């Protein structure tokens, strides 16, 4: 007989107006387990979590906490019942200190709650950090959180969630911005929480992560419960089938019959150095050389801080004409100076942060698609709406962008469809060289496969692609070649056939590279 579950969802249902987003969802969470909640974007995971968190209060069914039915009227009720949610989007106030953030809304206070008790707050925060092994000193806790890298912010977020003895912890894609070492730390923390009897609902799109951490897995699809199983009884193929409701043939580039043809390189970079934006630091990229042939995808691997993002920014001229070295596009010399100039030379840069730097959420789908190629679509400086619409609807059809008509703001689309809009925007500039950073971040499995197929299509037309992905399986699947960066320098280079996750990770962490070059001290 199983012990009584920590938390139980019973026939939860929810509609937004005429749209039914959840129906009859029932499953339970046991103490001391990690329960992965999986499903494509739009499957209803976030809605379910928002109900649990007390954000949506208008729903059907019941939630039972240790056998007692509960109903939360506001988020703070959920907190008082020992439920903590770490949301996908960071919810820290950037300009406030870590300690202030941890206690936001429940500050320890004296004199009837009017006078902040800063020392008690700091003491509590320090105790919490020690308990969670967070390696933050008293000085760190007093710093504004905006000074910390994403990984530290992520841990502060967890400390905030745990500040008040949470028994049920929900983590919504917590590893999105973390590198491998930081993920390992987070997982150790999760193990410790399990040991203390917490139950953890863990939402993730990353397969390897799911199987590393899950005790049980529940899958939602189209707002319905599809199944719950022990992780060891639920192989990846089953899981994918549950999630998308059909078999998915994994298509790799080799299977698609792609191979890099030996041809003159579209992009040739010779001894490129990109300075670090913070003064007094060694360059973010030093003496980097690479050639990318037409139709080739070169994957870039490296831990956080390896400099791959800075390489893209430098090549695209994001921070002006800052780099030194020689760049040639289609054999002609190119000097990065501004995004506008780079676009004119057939360079495109899909950034890893769709909301922050990819889309203009208020503009319509068609205006976003045409934004980067607007000079071509508005001869004489005069807009041609019909021309834009025609162009955009071509892409909407070709990339199967679904969810809204092209004249609606792009913000209403789901993550995967927004990503396709960004891809359409860059495609519209007719690039010869594409710099892709995390093209499938926050995108569900179905859309991921569509994006992979698109990349194959583009390379078949002769586009050269440089690809950054923190998901190693994706990198191995897509790349013809993989170069590994370590602290701004080329650490190793692998042909597709010889690349393995172990070799890549070793090189990324600074072990002697395969090329036998002595590694310069950064």
Partner 1 sequence: MRNPVAARWLETPWVRALLALALVILVGFVFNADGAFLRWSTHRDMLRQISVYGILACGMTLVIITGGIDLAVGSVLGLSAVLFARLTLVGGHGAVVAIAAVLAAGLGAGLASGGLVARFKVQPFIATLAMMVFARGLAKWSSGGQKISQAVQAPDGSFSYVDLPRVFDVLGSRVLGGNVAVVTLVFAACLALSWVVLAKLRYGRYLYATGGNEEAARLSGVPVARAKLVAYGLSGLFAAVAGICQAAQELQGDPEAGISYELTAIAIAVIGGNSLAGGRGGVGLTLLGALTIGYLEKILSINSVGESSRLMLTGGIIVAAVLLQRRRTA
Residues that bind partner 1 (CB under 8 A): 16-18, 316, 318, 339-340, 342-344, 349, 351, 356-363, 367, 371-372, 374-375, 378, 381-383, 425, 429
Cβ 371 to partner 1, closest distance in Å?
5
**Chain center to CA of 421:** 17
Largest CA distance in the chain: 76
Give the three-class secondary structure for 68. Answer: strand
Query: CB-wise, 269 or 372, nearer to partner 1?
Result: 372
Cβ 411 to partner 1, closest distance in Å?
10
Query: CB-wise, 323 or 359, nearer to partner 1?
Result: 359
**Among the listed residues 351, 273, 346, the one whose alpha carbon sits nearest the alpha carbon of residue 314:** 273
Query: CB-wise, 342 or 456, nearer to partner 1?
Result: 342
Cβ 344 to partner 1, closest distance in Å?
8
Give the three-class secondary structure for 443. Answer: coil
Which residues lie closer than 8 Å to 227 by C-beta, 6 or more apart? 218, 219, 234, 242
Between the alpha carbon of residue 378 and those of residues 34, 423, 429, the distances in Å are: 54, 21, 13
**Among the listed residues 504, 513, 515, 482, the one whose alpha carbon sits nearest the alpha carbon of residue 179:** 504
**Chain center to CA of 135:** 25
Query: CB-wise, 194 or 384, nearer to partner 1?
Result: 384
Strands (E) in 95-142, as ranges, are: 109-110, 115-116
Phi/psi zone of residue 423: left (φ > 0), alpha (ψ -120 to 50 degrees), beta?
alpha
Cβ 431 to partner 1, closest distance in Å?
12
Q: How far is 266 from 428, CA to CA, in rounded Å?
A: 19
Query: CB-wise, 435 or 507, nearer to partner 1?
Result: 435
Q: How far is 467 from 511, CA to CA, in rounded Å?
A: 22
**Among the listed residues 276, 268, 315, the one whose alpha carbon sits nearest the alpha carbon of residue 296:** 268
**Chain center to CA of 459:** 24
Cβ 437 to partner 1, closest distance in Å?
11
Cβ 494 to partner 1, closest distance in Å?
30
Structural contact between residues 16 and 180, judged by C-beta atoms closer than 8 angstroms: no
Query: CB-wise, 72 or 316, nearer to partner 1?
Result: 316
Cβ 177 to partner 1, closest distance in Å?
17
Cβ 472 to partner 1, closest distance in Å?
27
Q: How far is 378 from 79, CA to CA, in rounded Å?
A: 53
3-class SS letters over 328-379:
EECCEEECCCCHHHHHHCCEEEECCCHHHHHCCCCCEHHHHHHHCCHHHHCH
Cβ 358 to partner 1, closest distance in Å?
6
Cβ 354 to partner 1, closest distance in Å?
9
Give the three-class secondary structure for 194. Answer: helix
């Amino acid at each position: 007989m199983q012990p009584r579950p920590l938390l139980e969802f019973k026939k939860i249902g929810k509609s937004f107006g005429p749209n039914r987003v959840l129906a009859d969802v029932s499953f339970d969470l046991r103490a001391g387990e990690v329960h992965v909640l999986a499903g494509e974007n739009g499957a209803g995971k976030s809605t379910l979590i928002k109900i649990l968190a007390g954000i949506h209060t208008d729903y059907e069914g019941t939630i039972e906490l240790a056998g007692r039915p509960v109903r939360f009227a506001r988020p703070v009720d959920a907190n008082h019942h020992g439920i903590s949610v770490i949301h996908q989007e960071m919810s820290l106030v950037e300009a406030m200190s870590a300690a202030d953030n941890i206690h936001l809304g429940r500050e320890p206070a004296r004199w009837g709650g009017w006078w902040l008790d800063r020392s008690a707050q700091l003491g509590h925060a320090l105790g919490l950090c020690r308990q969670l092994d967070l390696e933050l000193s008293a000085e760190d806790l007093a710093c504004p959180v905006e000074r910390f890298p994403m990984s530290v912010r992520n841990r502060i977020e967890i400390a905030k969630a745990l500040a008040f003895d949470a028994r049920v912890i929900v983590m919504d894609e917590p590893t999105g911005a973390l590198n491998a070492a930081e993920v390992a730390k987070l997982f150790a923390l999760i193990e410790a929480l399990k040991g203390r009897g917490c139950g953890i609902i863990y939402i993730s799109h990353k397969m390897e992560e799911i199987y590393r951490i899950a005790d049980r897995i529940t899958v939602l699809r189209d707002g319905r419960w599809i199944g719950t199983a022990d992780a060891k009884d639920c192989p990846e193929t089953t899981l994918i089938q549950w999630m998308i409701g059909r078999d998915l043939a994994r298509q790799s580039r080799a299977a698609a019959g792609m191979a890099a043809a030996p041809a003159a390189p579209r992009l040739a970079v010779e001894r490129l150095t990109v300075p670090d934006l913070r003064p007094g630091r060694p360059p973010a990229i030093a003496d980097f050389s690479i050639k990318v042939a037409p139709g080739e995808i070169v994957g870039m691997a490296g831990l956080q801080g390896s400099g791959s993002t800075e390489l893209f920014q430098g090549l695209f001229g994001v921070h002006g004409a800052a780099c030194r070295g020689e760049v040639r596009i289609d054999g002609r010399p190119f000097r990065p100076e501004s995004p506008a100039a780079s676009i004119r030379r057939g360079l495109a840069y899909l950034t890893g942060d769709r909301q922050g730097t990819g889309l203009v959420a208020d503009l319509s789908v068609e205006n976003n698609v045409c934004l980067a190629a607007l000079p071509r679509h508005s001869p004489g400086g005069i807009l041609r709406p019909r021309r834009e619409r025609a162009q955009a609807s071509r892409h909407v059809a070709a990339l199967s962008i679904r969810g809204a008509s092209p004249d609606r703001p792009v913000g209403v689309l789901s993550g995967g469809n927004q990503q396709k809009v960004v891809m359409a925007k860059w495609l519209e500039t007719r690039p010869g060289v594409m710099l892709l950073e995390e093209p499938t971040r926050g995108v569900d499995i179905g859309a991921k496969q569509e994006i992979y197929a698109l990349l194959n299509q583009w390379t078949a037309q002769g586009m050269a692609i440089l690809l950054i992905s923190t998901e190693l399986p994706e990198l191995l699947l897509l790349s013809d070649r993989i170069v590994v960066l370590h602290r701004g320098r080329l650490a190793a280079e692998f042909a597709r056939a010889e690349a393995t996750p172990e070799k890549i990770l070793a090189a990324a962490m600074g072990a002697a590279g395969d090329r036998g070059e002595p590694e310069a001290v950064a």
